[in-house]
Amino acid sequence: MEAEVVGTTATGQCHVHFCKVTKRFGTRTVLDGFNLEVPKKEKLALIGPSGSGKSTVLRILMTLEDVQQGDVLIGGEYLWRHAGAKSEAASEKDRRRIRQRVGMVFQQFNLFPHMTAVRNIAEAPIKVLGLPREEAYAQAISLLDKVGLRDKADAYPAFLSGGQQQRVAIARTLAMKPEIILLDEVTSALDPELVGEVLNVIRLIAQESDLTILIVTHQMGFAREFANRICFLENGQIIEQGPPDQFLDYPKSERTKAFLRAVLAG
């Protein structure tokens, strides 16, 4: 499918683009005419109640979910394109190629239990990117150093805390050299005392890279300091969005105000 560059923003070419996207699971509509533009290098926080469509947005970008209607583009290339009454997917070859530009870290760590931390990180670059084994392992050690786990290179997941496993998962995603990173409630499965160590790694990555990052989170304090923009989703649409200080301190929608009161009270 031929690449096509679409809308731009004040900060540059649109890196991620959803245009009038509808996503259904059976009779339930999860995204309803959903629109979103994310410029290159933006750090975007997606918040909202359970079932609002936040995680579905990320899963569509990873080609883990299809769409019924609308356009979805990454870097100006179509993953899904409106065609008549429904949307058509890019060819599987194009989807695989475009998907390599995107990395995702899930709620659960999904590490291979029979592999050490360093091998969990090195394996995909060797098999998918064709990186020489020595280079892949050197890169893996460097990434473990970045996430503060160099001394755990030879440890198996069963001997790592949840926070350590999630940091290995983040390093594994970075090893594939994506342009866009998707983070889906990456601290929700962690004990409270381990949340900070994972958020600190995400802060470091954001500060030291030009990656475009989309994060689904309920950590409002982190969203305030990390994000360039916060979007509040409900019923498959963006209800309100804006810069963190404006959004969190002066929300306009009554629904946004009620949600923030509930989250911050918790």
Give the pLDDT score at 266. Answer: 63
Q: Where are the domains of the chain?
A: 1-99+179-266, 102-177
Place of tokens 């100006």: 76
Q: Return d(Cα 233, Cα 34) in angstroms, integer.
A: 10
Q: Which helix (H) or strand (E) holds 233?
A: strand 229-234
Give the pLDDT score at 12. Answer: 43
Is 106 strand, coil or helix? coil
Is 37 strand, coil or helix? strand
CA 150 to chain centre: 25
Q: Return d(Cα 225, Cα 85) in angstroms, integer.
A: 42
Radius of gyration of the chain (CA): 19
DSSP state of 135: H
Q: What is the pLDDT along the chain (266 residues), one digit of tens a residue?
A: 333 434 333 334 689 999 999 999 999 999 999 999 999 999 999 999 999 999 999 999 999 999 999 999 999 999 999 988 889 999 999 999 999 999 999 988 889 999 999 999 999 999 999 999 999 999 999 999 999 999 999 999 999 999 999 999 999 999 999 999 999 999 988 888 899 999 999 999 999 899 999 999 999 999 999 999 999 999 999 999 999 999 999 999 999 999 999 998 76
CA 27 to chain centre: 26
Give the pLDDT score at 7. Answer: 39
Contacts of 129 (CB under 8 A, 6+ apart): 176, 177
Give the pLDDT score at 238. Answer: 97
The verdict on domain 1-99+179-266 having CATH code 3.40.50.300 is yes
Give the pLDDT score at 193. Answer: 86
- Assess contact for 42 and 32: CB atoms under 8 A: no
Structure tokens given for 32: 């309803």
